[in-house]
Chain A
Amino acid sequence: MENLIALLIAAPLLGAVVLLCGGRRLDKTGHWLGTLLAAVSFGIGVVLFADMLGRGADDRTLTQNLYTWIPVEGFQADMAFQLDQLSMTFVLLISGVGTLIHVYSIGYMEHDERRRRFFGYLNLFVAAMLLLVLADNYLLLYFGWEGVGLASYLLIGFWQHKPSAATAAKKAFLVNRVGDMGLSIAIMLMFTTFGTFAFGPVFGAVGEASEGKLTAIGLMLLLAACGKSAQVPLQSWLGDAMEGPTPVSALIHAATMVTAGVYLIVRSAAVFNGAPDAQLVVTVVGAVTLLFGAIVGCAKDDIKKALAGSTMSQIGYMILAAGLGPIGYVFAIMHLVTHGFFKAGLFLGAGSVMHGMNDEVDMRKYGGLRKYMPVTFVTFGLGYLAIIGFPGLSGFFSKDMIIEAAFAKGGTEGWILGGVTLLGAGITAFYMTRVMLLTFFGEKRWQPTASDSGSAAGSGHEPHPHESPKSMTVPMVILAFGSVFAGAFFEIGERFLKWLEPVTGYSHGNPPVSAMTVTAATMVMLLVGVGIAWAMYGKRPVPVVAPRGSFLTRAARRDLYQDDFNHVVLVRGGEHLTRSLVYVDHSLVDGVVNGTAASVGGLSGRLRKLQNGYARSYAVSMFGGTAILIAATLLMRAV
């Protein structure tokens, strides 16, 4: 059975190689090949899953060692895979949602002449992401980590003829690089501390390392997670990443890649369990991002950017849960999976709306679309109910668990974190209701103006909203099913908890308030959020041009000045630093070098005059020199 693990990765990798090297003769069939190979990967995943279920809870981990990747004495890196319950969850999510999004892309990218290449990149992403979650050591994980970064860069900048897309891709790549730096430092620290970076030996030796070392490793891992999962302070790239095609936003920037940071922290549970300070920082980062993303999501008029803010916020929930330790690991992953369903579904719905509206992304120019796109409306609506935590849907269970776990942390911390998660739930309800109302309800507000999004379709005529083709709606329906039932399925009989507990561990904590109270409070927050949104956007007509808004709205529209902050502190600061370094280089370093050269040159220019070409003047110096030598010799003798 374990020999199948490599095939999980090999299938999409083969697709990427064939599609990217195959040339134009694959233009007609390439997308089918890409989709098929993603589906093959999912099929193998299901087979392995069934096999895993057939074995006892302690006997479920499979390993496969392909070959020794870096065979250096004292530095052994294996091309080895480890498939346990945690990896399995990710494998099914990545290949399953990935396959659905491949199917969706067939319809979405139908008119794009570079569709073959798009599928090649998607396959490359799936392969790299599977490598990331299947690796059995940190170095191989790093390989996959960089691979998804590359795929993300290529796909954000897929429409590279748009300067905004090219810039966004570059920004995502650069910001991610800061995080990757953290991961590489963490690996080096592990190597110097434990002498290895394979999962098993590192986690086994955690007890021998000092807490300071573990905290350092944990913080570096957190930096890596911040970069990949768009957490404060490395969050600025995610909003711009929405320049990519919508299926990319759904797969990479909502369901899978951005959750890699959560995977990293949960996978390194042993390290974090030994470093309470690092855990505290993790929860703080999660809590800050949770509110940050939610506030940004409230003000955006671009439907994809509003969803991006929401993604940031939901991943904040997961990071916060992961920082809680054994109380929260399972729920972080559970929310990750349900979020994978409903957020991918929401993004696909947004893509479907854009598909019908000439690629218009401004929600103020939508309105009343429920009549024109019934399937999109229903699936998006179910995703909406799931994310705000409507009772019975998947988001309700997973988010509720995180809020309870936050309270169960205990002490003042627990109250603060619990309060933040509750507040976040209210804001989530507000901004998602706003998206829903602006898009599907109210009067139609679209106009016969050319869309300024630079698309070829915006040729100046009035958009005719229409339902998307089957290849797009079917994946949306399947994801909507997941959004509705996944939470309940996981929660009945605590299936998900029992499934993951052997890997991540679990402790119940001691919640200061009962689960019922938390649920009731969440419901109140939900109703308040929905109510405010209804009062602001449902009862009153929505202006097509955004009003100026309050200070907070304006700040949130500009992503709470994150780019301005980065610009002033990092870009300007960097410029000043480089300028002063250049000045020092010019004045000091060059001064010394040029000064030496100039003085040697001047001296030799003077000495050159002695070489006048007159043989007799040379003779004079010879005679003079000899005379001096003789005089000196005689003098020495006399003394």
Chain B
Amino acid sequence: MNPVNYLYLAALLFTIGATGVLIRKNAIVLFMCVELMLNACNLAFVAFSRMHGNLDGQIIAFFTMVVAAAEVVVGLAIIVSLFRTRHSASVDDASLMKL
């Protein structure tokens, strides 16, 4: 199969994620959209790795997964404590830090 198709899929997934980040209010959904964008990048890395025949892209994908895992831990903790204090997971409600 032509590896370019994987790139199209990655671009599609990234766009879906980015759109989700911009239009959804719920912090959990927003978070999932971010994960979607990260994984779209991973897919692109792996696809390029295959196309160019070197392993650098695959190694970077592993790094991304580790960073994403750490990010999920911290991000979910923040969302949970936010929900506990404000009884809402809407990102638009958490707008206190402005002038």
Please list the residues of chain A having a beta carbon within 8 angstroms of any beta carbon in chain B: 608, 611-616, 619-620, 623
Contact = CB atoms under 8 A, between A and B. Distances in A.
Given A616-B23, A616-B92, 14 more contacts: A611-B98, A611-B99, A613-B95, A613-B96, A613-B97, A614-B92, A614-B95, A616-B21, A616-B22, A616-B91, A619-B22, A620-B22, A623-B18, A623-B22
B73 interface: no
5 contacts: A613-B96, A615-B92, A616-B92, A620-B22, A623-B22
Nearest to B25: A616
Nearest to B94: A615
Contacts of B99: 608, 611
Contacts of B98: 611-613
B33 to A, nearest CB: 10
Contact of A615 (B18, B23, B91): B91
Contacts of B97: 613
Contacts of A614: 91-92, 95
Nearest to A626: B18
A619 B95 CA distance: 14
A556 B28 CA distance: 100
> Which of B94, B97, B98 neighbours the largest number of chain A CB atoms within 10 Å of its CB?
B98
Nearest to A620: B22
Interface string B54-96: 0000000000000000000000000000000000000110111
Interface string B1-37: 0000000000000000010011101000000000000
A394 to B, nearest CB: 89
Contacts of A612: 95, 98
Contacts of A611: 98-99
A579 B46 CA distance: 79
Classify the interface of chain A: helix, strand, loop or mixed.
helix
Contacts of A613: 95-98
A619 B21 contact: yes
Contacts of A619: 21-22
Contacts of A623: 18, 22
Nearest to B34: A619
> Which of A608, A616, A623 neighbours the largest number of chain B CB atoms within 10 Å of its CB?
A616
Closest 8 CB pairs of A and B: A613-B95, A613-B98, A615-B91, A611-B98, A608-B99, A619-B21, A614-B95, A614-B92
Contacts of A615: 91-92, 94-95
B91 to A, nearest CB: 5
Contacts of B92: 614-616
A613 B94 CA distance: 8
Nearest to A615: B91
B11 to A, nearest CB: 13
A614 B98 CA distance: 9
Nearest to A609: B99
A612 B22 CA distance: 15
Contacts of B91: 614-616
A77 B18 CA distance: 83
A59 B23 CA distance: 109
Contacts of B95: 612-615
A619 B37 CA distance: 13
Nearest to A608: B99
A426 to B, nearest CB: 87
Contacts of A616: 21-23, 25, 91-92
Contacts of B18: 623
B62 to A, nearest CB: 24
A162 to B, nearest CB: 63
Nearest to A611: B98
Nearest to B97: A613
A126 to B, nearest CB: 72
Contacts of A608: 99
A604 B57 CA distance: 44
Nearest to B18: A623
A430 B95 CA distance: 97
A336 to B, nearest CB: 79
